[in-house]
Amino acid sequence: MNKMIDELDVYLNSELSGSLKLERDDEMTFTYSDTAVRPVSVGMPLHEKSYGHKHCEAFFGGLLPEGDAARKAIGKRFGVSEGNTFSLLRSIGAECAGALSIISRGESVPAEGMEEVNLLSEKELAEHIRELPRRPLFVEVKGIRLSLAGVQDKAAVTVLPEGIGIPKFGPTTHILKPDLREEPGVIFCEYLCMKSAASLGIDVAEVQLREAEDLVYLLVQRYDRIRDSQRSLTRVHQEDFCQAMAIPSKKKYQEDGGPSLKDCFHLLTKTAVPALARQKLLTAVVFNFLVSNLDAHGKNFSLLHGKNVITLAPLYDLVCTAAFPDYSQELAMEIGDYYEPKEIFAHQWRTLCEDIGYSFPAFKRIARSLYSRLPSVAEKELSNMQSEGRSHSACERAVKIITANCTEMEARLNV
């Protein structure tokens, strides 16, 4: 019989949810506490008391950064192996996505308030941003113990009226993304796509472009944090689709064993109003196709756990990846058995609708409402960016791609 060699407490907000244990065979198990009243995941319901390594690696491992360089830097900072999920969670799991805090046994749960925030001068913020590739998540800052999933360099910060800072222990309000050195213009393109989606009435996270010295960065407001007052925040639980389906981050793409669109739509049966969630997700799928956000994989959609209700979370990470040649030009999830956008015609969309149980005429109405308005909306957002002096040539490429995509989709659906 395996014996437990280490243990962490898992909290949902201030409630002890259970314990994450590392067994002698280096596999993890999670056991709900007797007082747990909410599941940590729709894929880990309360009626099953314990869950094994597959669920633990997918759900808890899905809270950690995915990039090898980031994990190596974090491992070096805390003296642990970058491949050891359990040790990384012990090191930076106190402030995770959603309402989770993963801490050593007996340790105090991070507060909901924002009393201990280290405000940064513009120079300090710029220095931290420049160091992000070497010091992911600002891990070198004393007291920082937070985690964000994903590959791109980013950090979680707290935005107050008096400036931007880093909390010592409490929750953060925004995610900060610098531009990518290897692909300049990505954050500008993300801003363009996010603002265009918002203008079309799509539920997305709020974004801003700001500057620190000569560096432009993107601020994304966290939808899993609700500000109750100037100094008080409430964490709202969330999980991405891969976590909800017990699929590890390394398999987030469908071709690698990740979720398909059919899987994603089926997952929405867990939401409070499945019909509404399905309409929102299909709108997101069409929008992603039109803006050539080809990297819309299973970790780029999430469920938001509200008070006794589960909803589809606002969209995030919307980028016209086709504007960057080094990005994959295939869809993260197939449409009608095809991954290449140029192969997607009316037949493929009809096949998708059959797979997910959606009316094809209803789909066409959603598509028409987007392709008929998106080109002018994207042009307007680009013009706004240019007038503010915060645009990039990648945005001009993106608008041309978006306009062409809309024209093409209209022609293909109305043959």
**Is the pLDDT score of 113 beyond 90?**
no
Architecture category of domain 234-414 in CATH: Orthogonal Bundle (1.10)
Percent pLDDT > 70 in the chain is: 92
Which one-letter amino acid corresponds to residue 149?
Answer: A
Residue-level pLDDT at 230: 63
pTM exceeding 0.95: no
Q: Is 295 in the active site? A: yes
pLDDT at 67: 75
In the prediction, which pLDDT does 68 show? 76
pLDDT of residue 307: 84
**At residue 346, does pLDDT exceed 60?**
yes
Q: Where does CATH 3.30.200 sit in the chain? A: 116-221
Predicted local distance difference test score (pLDDT) of residue 110: 74
Q: What percent of the chain has pLDDT over 90?
A: 73
Provide the pLDDT for residue 370: 99
Range in 5-9, 152-156, 187-191 the model is least confident about: 152-156
CA-CA distance, 335 to 258, in Å (whole number)? 14
SS3 state at 382: helix
Does 24 have pLDDT greater than 90? no
Correct CATH for 116-221 of 3.30.200, 3.30.310, 1.10.3470, 2.40.160:
3.30.200
Q: Which residues contact 291 (CB under 8 A, 6 or more apart)?
A: 193, 196, 318, 320, 374, 378, 398, 401, 402, 405
Weakest mean pLDDT among 83-87, 300-304, 350-354, 371-375:
83-87
Tokens matching residue 99 = 């309402």
pLDDT score recorded for residue 181: 80
Lowest mean pLDDT among 88-102, 203-217, 349-363: 88-102
**150-159, 219-228, 281-290, 333-342: segment of lowest average pLDDT:** 150-159
Distance in angstroms (rounded) separating the CA atoms of residues 366 and 63: 33
From-to residues of CATH 1.10.1070.20 in the chain: 234-414
Q: Which of 256, 295, 326, 355 is catalytic?
A: 295
- Look at strands 237-240 and 232-235 and give their pairing: unpaired
CB 133 within 8 A of CB 72: no
Q: What would the mean pLDDT of 258-279 be, rounded to a whole number?
A: 98
Which pLDDT belongs to residue 26?
Answer: 87
